[in-house]
Amino acid sequence: MKLNIHTFRPKLFWLTAFTLLFTVSGFISNWAPKKLSLSFEESFIIGDDTNAAYFLASPYQIRTDKRQNIYIAEGQQKTIMVFGPQGKYLRSIGRSGNGPGEFPSGPRFHFNSENEVVALDPVSQRVTWFSKKGDILSEYAPSQAGMVWSEKFFQTADENYIMLKKPRDIGTNDPSNYRKYVFHRYSKSFKNHINSFGKFDRLVPKGDSKFVKMVSNRLNSGNFIKTGENSFLYSPGIYGGKVYKFEHTAGEWKLVNTLNGHTNWEEAVVLNANEDESMTINTYKDGGRQNSAGIINSYSIGLVQMNDGKVLHFSGQRIQNKDSLQTMVEAFDPQGDLIGTSSFDEIAIDRNLLAFTSNGPAVWMDENNRFYFIDYDEVPVVRVGKIEGL
């Protein structure tokens, strides 16, 4: 009997040990994803030539057409600059002003299905369609207030548009309740608001707080990228480690998948913080001025999709126990599973999160996996190249 007892206990011990090892190994794997080593191989820079016929003062948006021509929205000069595939300046579309084809503020733009440049100006509240040569094709200015003017939008397969914006909800009641949502569908002409979807407080960490609502409205509603004719991915501006996939099915846009990423923090935002790194948002209601404070630990910079279906999400992360910020990249496979993470120091981040805006730093990737980003480290330039390491 003693022999049986002593023979059994080592087996039980090793069985327990192996079970514990696999459990801990799985926990660690989920807690700390694979570390990637991504690098940027630069091809050329736009904006570093002091003798050029143009200059970049405040660039904030990048797009490319099918011929790899590069379009850069310029905030200070209030125009869209066009460059050839190797960075040669070609022309500008629109200019500063209040007349036809002019912008009193920096335009937000995209291409439509007819390869026209569609530009929105939230100050003049006007939509202008340009040819790629810069000719004015048509304009539309709503006769009544109420349209959602967004920094980010794209055209869907049915030729309608989806706008990304968390509208203000302080002091205003709207019967359609569109202020509860972050996505807003408009017709091809922008004359009709079709519907809104994607409830803000279900997608954004602590989206029911006044601080988060106002940060998302004023500074960063998040980022989205069209991944197919009837699908897109969305990362909230205040980033809690989740990227959401929406698809158009059965006549409506639905949330179909959640991509689980990784951040350096358990909480993307800490509310009512009075520390040195906190931000204060002022709001005005019937009762007068109200303040709300918080610390943002993690925020979205942008999303890009590679031609093999992989998705890269760029985020700004506070470095724990240090007074600085770092750019981090999460890589997802075409099915939405996290491949791993990497730091990406090529994108410098201002430690002052008052610069936490939806316009910068802008990132973009074209159909040939050429990567573009705006670098504000010294003078503003656009860097063009390839991301290696995947």
The predicted pLDDT at position 281 comes to: 73
Of 132, 131, 109, 134, the residue nearest 120 (C-alpha): 109
130 or 360, higher pLDDT: 130
- Say yes or no: domain 142-388 is CATH 2.40.50: no
pLDDT band at 3 (very low <50, low <70, confident <90, very high): very low
Judge contact between 259 and 332, C-beta under 8 A.
yes
Phi/psi of residue 23, nearest 5 degrees: -65, -45
Residue 164 has pLDDT above 80, yes or no: yes
Judge contact between 70 and 82, C-beta under 8 A.
yes
* CA geometry: angle 8, 11, 16, nearest 5 deg: 125
* CA geometry: angle 361, 364, 365, nearest 5 deg: 150
The predicted pLDDT at position 30 comes to: 45
Burial of 300 (0-12, 13-18, 19+ CB in 10 A): buried
Average pLDDT of the chain, as a whole number: 86
The predicted pLDDT at position 70 comes to: 98
Long-range contacts of 342-346 (CB under 8 A, 24+ apart): 342/35, 342/36, 342/37, 342/38, 342/389, 344/38, 344/40, 344/314, 346/40, 346/373, 346/375, 346/383
Phi/psi of residue 108, nearest 5 degrees: -110, 135
Token look-up 């001025």 returns 289
Q: What is the pLDDT of residues 13-54, one digit of tens each?
A: 455 555 444 444 444 334 679 999 999 999 999 998 877 788
The predicted pLDDT at position 172 comes to: 54
- The domain locations on the chain are 142-388
The predicted pLDDT at position 1 comes to: 37
Q: What is the mean pLDDT of residues 56-69?
A: 94
Rounded Cα gap, residues 320 and 336, in angstroms: 28
240 or 22, higher pLDDT: 240
The predicted pLDDT at position 255 comes to: 97
Sequence-distant (6+) residues with CB within 8 A of 271 are 206, 209, 211, 212, 292, 293, 294
The predicted pLDDT at position 51 comes to: 76
Task: Check: pTM over 0.85? Answer yes or no.
Answer: yes
Dig out the tokens for 56 from the structure: 């970049």
Q: What is the mean pLDDT of residues 105-109?
A: 92
